[in-house]
Structure 1
Amino acid sequence: MDSSVFHARGPEVSRLRQFLNFLGCILILPVYYILTAYTRHPLTLDVLVTIFAAEYNRYTNECRRRKLYGQDKALQDAEKAIPRLSPAGPGPDCMAAVVGYREDPALFARALESYNSAEGCRFVLVGIDGDEEADMEMVRVFQKVYSNNTSSVIRLDEPFGELAVRTFDKISTADLHSQPTDKYMQESIAHCCNLAREILTDHKITFDRGAGGITRLCLYQPHLHKKGIMFTSFIFSIVISDLLGIEYLWSSDSDTIVFPRSLRSTVETVAGDPSVGGGSAGLIVHNEHDSAISKLGSVVYWCELYLTRSTATAAGTSDCQSGPSSAFRVAALPAVLYPWYTQCVLGHRMIINEDRHLTTNLLLQNWTITYVSDTLASTDTPTTLSKWLLQQVRWSRAGHIESFQNPHIYTLTSPLFFWAAIKRELGPLLGLAYILYYYVTGTSMAYFSWTDLAFRVVYTIVYNVGRNPDRAGGGKRGIAWWGWVLPAMVFYNVPLPAVHAWSLGTVFEGGWGTAMRGVSEKEGRMWKRIRELGFFVLWMGVVGGVMGRIAAGFLGASPETTVRALGWGTTVFSGAAFYGLVVRE
């Protein structure tokens, strides 16, 4: 394999540009303060800025596609500077890597089958985290879905991530010349790639489509964590893409169903700009009818997350590639895999923020990351409130870590990227402080307008109806569907301040990230559920007390009655939350 691919970086950012970006970040702070504290309609202004970011992002992605298919001369000249895995020219084709752990068999089968009709997908690699009997169910599903002679299965004795760490330690210890750390990382990744190539050769895996070559491959290894199986899958993807002359990789989860255009449309935005190292498609929910919670979650994806993920794109780049729907320029991966896998924060090895940290590492290598909001894939959402809250907490923890660990990233991007981070980190905390202050004192800490809130809701709904790529969600499901929109916005935004604060205080906790749905799950002990979800019980008590105060104020109640309303609201809401999450669920 050409060693130059291990040095692939995005376009260099000059020192002057970095300094100007730094000054811009400093100016962002007072601007954000003024817009938050001294305007009469901060929520409305915020959603209008977000809508502008979403539209600018879609315009930018469309320009990338036009350059790709228009064979723009300036683009071709710029692409000559990008190291290639093969002499093949740029194109929208890709290979896919799907990872999972004890997934529900029926859902996993649907996910694998969806790749049969995915445009531009030349090869599918499946990575399974686990090699025990219970894990073999996923292997059997793979063999059933891809039952022809173009598929194969390989068992690995060791996760490649741990192999890379051991190789790094061995090389760095034995080296008497003290080479730069980056050199050790490159040699470790190169060693893993060479070993992957040997394994494919030993198993007689061929890729010649004209002579019965393999187009579907399943790898399974001893159980570790999601980052572990992703690392192994990425290593094999680098090798396989080199053998096939493929430049782009689609990465997804075992519960994600892709549409015919999901892969190609996402890859087009990467292939259409030599500065882009990766991108991710938008998401909708395929299990919305499983429960009321999954229904609310589906509407949240439609009315909130589409816009929320667009905020950072005002800077021309995204801050997170979504795990279920990401694409990469393969040449960008070797340089970032080792630091991504071995991320350590204050002495804690991080495994929960695989999506965001991979994006961060690409950004630190000067790559641009796209959010392909007009392209969709379909994912699974939690069906119970407790699982939904735990998912939101896990996502929020990753956001905290990536916002603060590498501040240098803000000098490499537009100050608007810093704006998005400040908004994401400070907004919910300001909301938490505002609500707690009102709960305790009965007075507002800052100006608040119900009209402002109403305008935000109206603008959000109107924009999504007109421009959300899942317009069927807003326009073709009947009047009953619209009854879920306002509850979904409450469902997402009311817990947000508490989720944000709790995740900040427990930032080093985490796990694989999804329950093992292929086997029966044991109910957690009550103390464990209290430790995980007790923050929400307390928060709902605060919310109930605030509602009691508001109701008493509207009714012109006496101070004594207001205090009783506060107490009753706190007791009823926290009691209901405790029963629903800890006792009943």
Structure 2
Amino acid sequence: MISIFVAEYNRWANEKRRLKLHETPPSTPTGDIEKALLTMQNGSPGEITRCMAAIVGYREDPDLFYRALESYKATEGLDFTLVGVDGDQAADMDMVRVFQMVYPKNSAVIHLDEPLGEIAMRTYSKLVDPDMRTPEDIDYCNELTIAHCCQLAREILREHDIQFDKTQPGGGITKLCIYEPHMHKKAIMFTSFIFSIVISEVLDIEFMWSSDSDTIVLPDSLQKTIATVAGDENAGGASSGLVVHNEHDTLWTKLGSAVYWCELYLTRSTSASSGTSDCQSGPSTVFRISALPGILYCWYTQKVMGKRMIVNEDRHLTTNLLLRGWTVTYVSDTLTATDTPTTLSRWLLQQVRWGRATHIETFQQPKVYLLNHPVFFWAAMKREIGPLIVFFSILYYLITGHPFVYFCWWDLVFRAGYTIIYNWLRNPDRGPTNGFAWIIPALLFYNLPLPAIQIWSMATVLEGGWGTTMRSNGEMSKQSQSQLWKRWHDLGFFVLWMGVIGGTCARIAGGLLSWSDIAIFRALWVGILVPSVITFYALILS
């Protein structure tokens, strides 16, 4: 019930922010000049929410990328589109060609010899002095580094004669594709953000939509999300809700779509009700561009116990915004369509990667809890501790036959029932086709692996691999050729966990049917071995 209450409060707060765009600015002057400038609303709401989009990707499926870029043509208030391609080899040119196909006019393509993130690291190393220890000195070096990168971006645009003035003959450039040597998603995001800062200065744009190459936007995705940020001068960013556009591809995408419907709306609304969302979803994020220069360098160079982090890009951006006093919200009544993995193995790898990012951002910066609402801390601890309690409760029952915590099936059914009814009434996502038939399978599909994912992602929290390949034909073929030992390392935890689940179910059945201890012991081994063997064959050998 608490989750439902805060979800409703979050929707009310977001609507209140959007309504502020239509209000007359107060006549009483504020002593804070910077906030006064942010709250000035001399134009119409549509003028205030003008924006640009930054879309990044690596070896995306050409057909999906084509659909993604096409979807931006129906978007209102989008003044500029920037596409970043992480790679400059022959296989990467498919994305560049798709860009040119979708945007043949008023567009340009630029190749960078080196990612700007690497240039930034060299620049920072020259600026920083061993005697610099205060946070102010470090922030100053960060700002100088970003300023240097922005100046390089301006020079690159001048060298390629990129004109943004629409009054020029032939019109100005409104679509730009940048591609650079392959590194990782953080690298192409950093480059895209630097160019976005420079372009936004020229076009006088305050907001940037950041998304992925597999994401399809709806006509109102950008404007409603941006309006929520524009209506609150303290808001540094937001993200919209998500639906799945490849629901009908496989059984696993159908289940994934149902999971998004069952879980995302309520779980994301919980912390966001206090104005402190813990993660801006990569496919559907809005930033106030003026908030980016102060956080970009420390975001790009994040280290955990001396190891460079490259896969928790979305959560760490959000953490940095919160640490600097900006609020971040979840716009639950607005939707964007994203892609979900088509196989069980890719789904598990994605969940483990997200789990690692969650652990890092939950515990690395405890200061963030002191700066934000207690609800933010409660949501974080609930997310971390809940699956651990379930894991040890199941393991304890499997070994001893006694419950670790009190459990009531009727309570579970009642809670699930009213949550599903609320979701059906209020979630803007109407759910998968024949949704009621998929709700129970989806809840099992998500919640059964969750405790094992929590444990394994904690144990491997410093692993920096992406886990899954991209969707181009060449990249998908690499995954099918991966070595047996690597698949066991990545997915073996789930094989073992299915044995635990099978054994636990056997013990429950033995207790309900009043079996003897010997019969229960035999059933335990059958329950452990059969699911483990089946899962091992399906995930590791196949």
Tell me, yes or no, if structure 1 residue 108 matches structure 2 residue 65: yes
Corresponding residue number in structure 2 for 1:172: 128
Q: How has the CA–CA distance of structure 1 residues 159 and 264 changed in structure 2, closer, same or farther, with 3 Å as cutoff?
A: same
**Structure 2 counterpart of 1:145, one-letter code:** V
User: Taking structure 2 as the reference length, what is the TM-score of the superposition?
Assistant: 0.95
Deviations 1:154-212 (A, max 9, x none): 00111111111100001125999997111111000000001101111111101112321
Q: Which secondary structure state, in structure 1, belongs to the residue aligned with residue 397 of structure 2?
A: helix
CA shift, 1:316, in A, is 2.5
Identity among equivalent positions (%) equals 60
Moved over 4 A (4+): 74-80, 83-90, 173-179
Corresponding residue number in structure 1 for 2:232: 273
Specify every segment of 5 or more residues in structure 1 that has no aligned partner in the other structure, as ranges. 1-47
* Distance (Å, rounded) in 2 between the aligned partners of 1:435 and 1:135: 46
Relative contact order, CA 8 A, sep 6+: which one is greater? Answer: 1
**Bigger Cα displacement from structure 2, 82-91 vs 66-75:** 82-91
Tell me, yes or no, if structure 1 residue 557 matches structure 2 residue 515: yes
Q: How has the CA–CA distance of structure 1 residues 253 and 300 changed in structure 2, closer, same or farther, with 3 Å as cutoff?
A: same
CA shift, 1:516, in A, is 2.3
Deviations 1:89-114 (A, max 9, x none): 57111100000000000000000000
CA shift, 1:557, in A, is 1.1
* Distance (Å, rounded) in 2 between the aligned partners of 1:352 and 1:568: 39
Corresponding residue number in structure 2 for 1:33: none
- Counterpart contact for 2:272–2:328, Cα < 8 Å: no
- Counterpart contact for 1:85–1:245, Cα < 8 Å: no
Q: How has the CA–CA distance of structure 1 residues 571 and 177 changed in structure 2, closer, same or farther, with 3 Å as cutoff?
A: closer
* Distance (Å, rounded) in 2 between the aligned partners of 1:74 and 1:379: 43
- Counterpart contact for 1:85–1:247, Cα < 8 Å: no
Q: 1:464 aligns with which of 423, 442, 445?
A: 423
**Structure 2 counterpart of 1:60, one-letter code:** A
Q: How has the CA–CA distance of structure 1 residues 83 and 325 changed in structure 2, closer, same or farther, with 3 Å as cutoff?
A: farther
* Distance (Å, rounded) in 1 between the aligned partners of 2:511 and 2:125: 65
Corresponding residue number in structure 2 for 1:537: 495
Q: 2:35 aligns with which of 54, 66, 82?
A: 82
* Distance (Å, rounded) in 1 between the aligned partners of 2:227 and 2:260: 24
Q: 1:396 aligns with which of 355, 360, 366?
A: 355
* Distance (Å, rounded) in 2 between the aligned partners of 1:275 and 1:181: 24
Tell me, yes or no, if structure 1 residue 569 matches structure 2 residue 523: no
Corresponding residue number in structure 2 for 1:161: 117
Corresponding residue number in structure 1 for 2:55: 98
**Bigger Cα displacement from structure 2, 67-76 vs 82-91:** 82-91
Q: 1:421 aligns with which of 380, 390, 398?
A: 380
1:7-18 counterparts in 2 under 5 A?
none
Equivalent pairs counted in the alignment come to 531
- Counterpart contact for 2:6–2:273, Cα < 8 Å: yes
* Distance (Å, rounded) in 1 between the aligned partners of 2:505 and 2:39: 63
* Distance (Å, rounded) in 1 between the aligned partners of 2:243 and 2:214: 12
Q: 1:517 aligns with which of 468, 471, 492?
A: 471
Q: Which secondary structure state, in structure 2, belongs to the residue aligned with residue 392 of structure 1?
A: helix
Deviations 1:64-108 (A, max 9, x none): 001112234289959852396999957111100000000000000
* Distance (Å, rounded) in 1 between the aligned partners of 2:271 and 2:216: 26
Corresponding residue number in structure 1 for 2:160: 203
* Distance (Å, rounded) in 2 between the aligned partners of 1:174 and 1:196: 29
CA shift, 1:413, in A, is 0.4
Q: Which secondary structure state, in structure 2, belongs to the residue aligned with residue 283 of structure 1?
A: strand
Corresponding residue number in structure 2 for 1:435: 394
CA shift, 1:51, in A, is 1.2
Specify every segment of 5 or more residues in structure 2 that has no aligned partner in the other structure, as ranges. none
Corresponding residue number in structure 2 for 1:298: 257
**Structure 1 counterpart of 2:370, one-letter code:** T
Corresponding residue number in structure 2 for 1:489: 443
Q: Which secondary structure state, in structure 2, belongs to the residue aligned with residue 82 of structure 1?
A: helix
Corresponding residue number in structure 2 for 1:55: 8
Deviations 1:308-337 (A, max 9, x none): 112212323201000000000000000000
Corresponding residue number in structure 1 for 2:82: 125
- Counterpart contact for 1:57–1:313, Cα < 8 Å: yes
Corresponding residue number in structure 1 for 2:461: 507
* Distance (Å, rounded) in 2 between the aligned partners of 1:541 and 1:78: 64
* Distance (Å, rounded) in 1 between the aligned partners of 2:261 and 2:127: 49
CA shift, 1:456, in A, is 1.9
**Structure 1 counterpart of 2:3, one-letter code:** T
Q: How has the CA–CA distance of structure 1 residues 177 and 374 changed in structure 2, closer, same or farther, with 3 Å as cutoff?
A: closer
- Counterpart contact for 1:84–1:331, Cα < 8 Å: no
**Structure 1 counterpart of 2:403, one-letter code:** S
Q: How has the CA–CA distance of structure 1 residues 86 and 300 changed in structure 2, closer, same or farther, with 3 Å as cutoff?
A: closer
Q: Which secondary structure state, in structure 2, belongs to the residue aligned with residue 210 of structure 1?
A: coil
* Distance (Å, rounded) in 2 between the aligned partners of 1:219 and 1:244: 18
Deviations 1:257-301 (A, max 9, x none): 000000000000110000000000000000011100000000000
1:133-144 counterparts in 2 under 5 A?
133-144=90-101
